[in-house]
Amino acid sequence: MERLPKLAVFDLDYTLWPFWVDTHVDPPFHRSSDGAVRDRRGQAVRLYPEVPDVLRRLQDLGVPVAAASR
């Protein structure tokens, strides 16, 4: 039987996306009509390409996911 973690915790900056959220983007964030998450200036907040698949797989396996940052 495969052992799964009880919880998967990810740092945000330079783990899920390629920037520091406190210096490279300007909150508040919103979902635009094209489905992208954008900051106040309209800059898209993009995840690393692999992140959605990793998070989806963890969800499919029933592994809770948490975020941590400084």
**pLDDT in 10s for each residue of the chain, 70 residues:** 589 999 999 999 999 999 988 888 898 999 999 999 999 999 999 999 999 999 999 999 999 999 998 7
> What pTM was computed for the model?
0.78
User: What is the four-CA torsion angle of 64, 53, 47, 16, rounded to 10 degrees?
Assistant: 40
* Active-site residue, from 11, 34, 53, 60: 11
Structural domain harbouring 12: 8-67
3-state secondary structure the chain: CCCCCCCEEEECECCCECCCCCCCCCCCCEECCCCCEECCCCCECCCCCCHHHHHHHHHHCCCCEEEECC
Considering the domain boundaries, does residue 31 fall inside one? yes
In the chain, the number of structural domains is: 1
* Active-site residue flag, 13: yes
Q: What's the CATH code of the domain at 34?
A: 3.40.50.1000
Looking at the domain assignment, is residue 59 inside a domain? yes
Distance set, CA 9 to CA 6, 20, 24 (Å): 10, 17, 22
For residue 60, indicate whether it is catalytic: no
